[in-house]
């Protein structure tokens, strides 16, 4: 089967995008297809694959069907959501400048910054941060996990747990640049306290408007950026009194602007979306 694809990235968080209305891959085959496409040696190479699907009942303009590089499903990806927004506008699938996209049953609202007829920035209303431990989910005796100790390989860390539609454990540290994330990341991801595994953000506070973040993504490993992780990190910093309610999150792949509107209880994320290259490929 020959399909067309678009490789896109948001702050270096890269996915293969496929128009699900044009190219139908049976669900039972998708895990193997996703692993093959995502492989950086034998496939296209990416942090995963995102299918952009029509929504029959009209409750949203499009569906984002997200898969991790290891062939597992994920509920949400902020960088992926921005790229979906650029894809559908730049390719003429919509002329709306305010678009509704559903992913994992969650409806997100997108607004565009357009230059020369192309989308250059996308603002996503990421919705309400989920703080209740059992909804994140994270195992805890407390209703919320804010600056709570966790033992990983016998070492004590302090974490704040937030869901932005997917689980995040945010750990504040004095130095993230020298962190051996390949060693510690998997142990956080598969820790017994996270029944659905977790994404883990390791964060340094630069000042009250700026955070530096590295991320270990569930099912993928370290990535250059994670939009939901940046949102969770900003909320965690604000909950701990470390920053103001609007911050710049510095990621390995670029910067994201995150604002938590506490009155409306929604998190807004603004950042770039870029087409890297396009082509066609014959599936194995």
Catalytic residues: 77, 226
Q: Is 27 left (phi over 0), alpha (psi -120 to 50) or beta?
A: alpha
Residues 6 or more apart whose Cβ sits within 8 Å of residue 146: 131, 160, 236, 239, 240
Taking the CB of residue 245, how many other CB atoms lie within 10 A of it? 15
Task: Answer yes or no: are the C-beta atoms of 279 and 4 closer than 8 Å.
Answer: yes
Q: Are strands 48-53 and 13-19 parallel, antiparallel or unpaired?
A: parallel
| Cis check: omega of the bond before 196, within 30 degrees of 0 | no
Tokens found for residue 143: 């209703």
């Amino acid at each position: 089967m020959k399909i067309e694809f678009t490789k896109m990235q948001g702050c270096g968080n890269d996915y293969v995008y496929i128009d699900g209305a044009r190219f139908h891959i049976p669900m039972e085959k998708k895990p193997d297809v996703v692993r093959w496409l995502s492989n950086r040696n034998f496939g296209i190479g990416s942090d995963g694959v995102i299918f952009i699907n029509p929504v029959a009942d009209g409750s949203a303009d499009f569906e984002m069907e997200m898969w991790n590089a290891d062939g597992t499903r994920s509920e949400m990806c902020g960088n992926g959501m921005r790229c979906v927004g650029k894809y559908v506008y730049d390719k003429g699938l919509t002329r709306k400048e305010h678009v509704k996209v559903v992913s994992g049953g969650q409806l997100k609202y997108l607004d565009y910054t357009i230059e020369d007829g192309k989308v250059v920035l996308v603002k996503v209303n990421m919705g309400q941060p989920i703080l209740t431990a059992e909804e994140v989910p994270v195992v805890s005796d407390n209703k919320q996990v804010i600056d709570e100790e966790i033992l990983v390989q016998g070492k004590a860390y302090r974490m704040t747990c937030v869901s932005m539609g997917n689980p995040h454990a945010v750990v504040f540290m004095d130095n993230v640049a020298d962190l051996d994330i390949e060693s510690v990341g998997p142990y956080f991801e598969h820790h017994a306290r996270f029944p659905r595994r977790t994404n883990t953000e390791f964060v340094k506070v630069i000042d009250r408007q700026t955070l530096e973040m590295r991320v270990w993504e569930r099912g993928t490993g370290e990535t250059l950026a994670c939009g939901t992780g940046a949102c969770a990190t900003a909320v965690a910093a604000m909950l701990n009194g470390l920053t103001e309610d609007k911050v710049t999150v510095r990621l390995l792949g670029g910067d994201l602007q995150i604002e938590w509107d506490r009155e409306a209880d929604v998190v807004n994320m603004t950042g770039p979306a870029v087409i890297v290259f396009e082509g066609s490929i014959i599936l194995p």
